[in-house]
Amino acid sequence: MDFHVLTLFPEMIENTVQTSITGRAIKNGRISLHTVNIRDFADNKHSRVDDYPYGGGAGMVMQAEPVYQAYQSVKRKTLKPRCIYLTPQGKVFNQTMAEEFALEEELVFLCGHYEGIDERVLEEIVTDYVSIGDYVLTGGELAACVMIDAVSRFVPGVLNNEESSQFESMQDNLLEYPHYTRPESWRGKNVPAVLLTGNHTKIEEWRLGESYKRTKERRPDLKAKNRPVTAAYFSPTEGTKKAVELLVEHLTQNPQYLDLTRRKLRREKKIFSAQELLVAAAPVYGGQLPVLENELFSNLKGNHTPCVIMAAYGNRHFDDTLAQMKKILEDRGFVCIGAIAPIIPHVYSDQLGKGRPNEKDEVIFKKFAVLIKKRIEEGEKQGFISVQVPGKAIPDKKTKKVLPQFLDKEKCIGCQVCVQRCPVYAISKETLEIDEEKCISCMRCALLCKKKARTFHYSKIQEHLEKDFFVPREIEFF
């Protein structure tokens, strides 16, 4: 990440940013800082860059040309860098904006002084008007330093502990829980007993509870914006599960998971309030949702609840799946505010989707997560808007194709794992035979069998897929 700051006081920026964590990040090459003195572009011997305002009034106004030339000196290095003007008139800076800006390769900060900057150059170069609070500073330098610090925390490698950028105050609109260190007892005050137990589950529960408590006491305005996130997924071979987990970790630090691969959990009704967020994820089978005994996600009920849908597929295409999911969930009371179709390993090929999602995909997940956070912020003010997705909401039914399967009874030890964890009740407990009417060829039983007693014959399908769909596809989101 490269930071460029257009300023009248370069030393003010440098002395601040080149210390502490950001200073270390500069030395390690994780971020870079380039200050540009606007006075260097003045066209007079006194290096003046301000003049009296047209129309009269108190104070001076920074001239357009020196600012423009300072910007041009940076622009030569990149085509169109994002330029942030620090002004009380801008949108108030927050954590979502910090995450969004951290996705850029370069940022330009423009620091104003006096009564401001000639409006004409602002119209020419500025992409974002940002304030760090509803008060006035003498210039934009301190505000720029604040933003550089906040943005840098989301740049990979800046923090020693990668989790520190996520698990801290302001994530999920919750304040951070209290911290303690040695000694165990100080001036009659003891460390909470739960922190000494070593029981990490109870410790995490305590910390979350303290976050809620502290936020309610100190920032009730934030508490009202807290939105619990639940990821409900169907994932027989766990490719979809991995993809949804990667996405959700960029949406919240306290996710709840609902594994709809488990038959029991698909039977249980789950009601969501308007103040929650649902992430619904499913694999693509032949361009559509898997056909189950009851329609997938039909046990979920929303109350104008925003939701994000994910159709994970093995590099062929997602076809009608997103449209299907959107209709099902919106008929159930949800509002689909975003949709994404990531690539995962194909169940019938060890080449299609190999290694996906990868590091490049994770960058796209980050961008999509920031987009969703922005849509939530906008939706809380103006109402949530349903996103448009491609495909047929009610697709034509496809002829069911069941793969030939084989059970090696010499290898089988009768452990019944395949019976118990088949997502569609397709395997007989008595005979271990597969009911072709129920089987969806999800390969879960073959994956779970430690003795490799179960196999499916899909060589012809594999050959077709690898011939026609070998070129890696990119993630699409809406």
Q: List per-residue pLDDT tens for the chain, 478 residues long.
A: 999 999 999 999 999 999 999 999 999 999 999 999 999 999 998 999 999 999 998 899 999 999 999 999 997 666 789 999 999 999 999 999 999 999 999 999 999 998 899 999 999 999 999 999 999 999 999 999 999 999 999 999 999 865 465 555 567 889 989 999 999 999 999 999 999 999 999 999 999 999 999 999 999 988 888 999 999 999 999 999 999 999 999 999 999 999 999 999 999 999 999 999 999 999 999 999 999 999 999 999 999 999 999 999 999 999 999 999 999 999 999 999 999 999 999 999 999 999 999 999 999 999 999 999 999 999 999 999 999 999 999 999 988 777 888 999 999 999 999 999 999 999 999 999 999 999 999 999 999 999 999 999 999 999 999 999 999 999 999 9
Structure tokens belonging to residue 165: 């950028």
Q: Has domain 405-457 been given CATH number 1.10.1660.10?
A: no
Between CA 110 and CA 4 the distance in angstroms is: 9
Domain with CATH 3.40.1280.10 in the chain: 2-164
pTM above 0.85, yes or no: yes
Q: Is the distance from CB of 317 to CB of 427 less than 8 angstroms?
A: no
Choose the CATH number for 2-164 among 3.50.7.10, 3.40.1280.10, 2.40.50.140, 3.40.720.10: 3.40.1280.10
SS3 content of the chain, % helix, strand, coil (to 5): 35, 20, 45
Between CA 229 and CA 305 the distance in angstroms is: 11
**Which pLDDT belongs to residue 163?**
46
Domain with CATH 1.10.1270.20 in the chain: 174-221
Between CA 224 and CA 241 the distance in angstroms is: 30
| Superfamily of structural domain 174-221 | tRNA(m1g37)methyltransferase, domain 2 (1.10.1270.20)
Q: Which residue, 98, 198, 210, 77, is CA-closest to 150?
A: 98
Fold of 227-396: Rossmann fold (3.40.50)
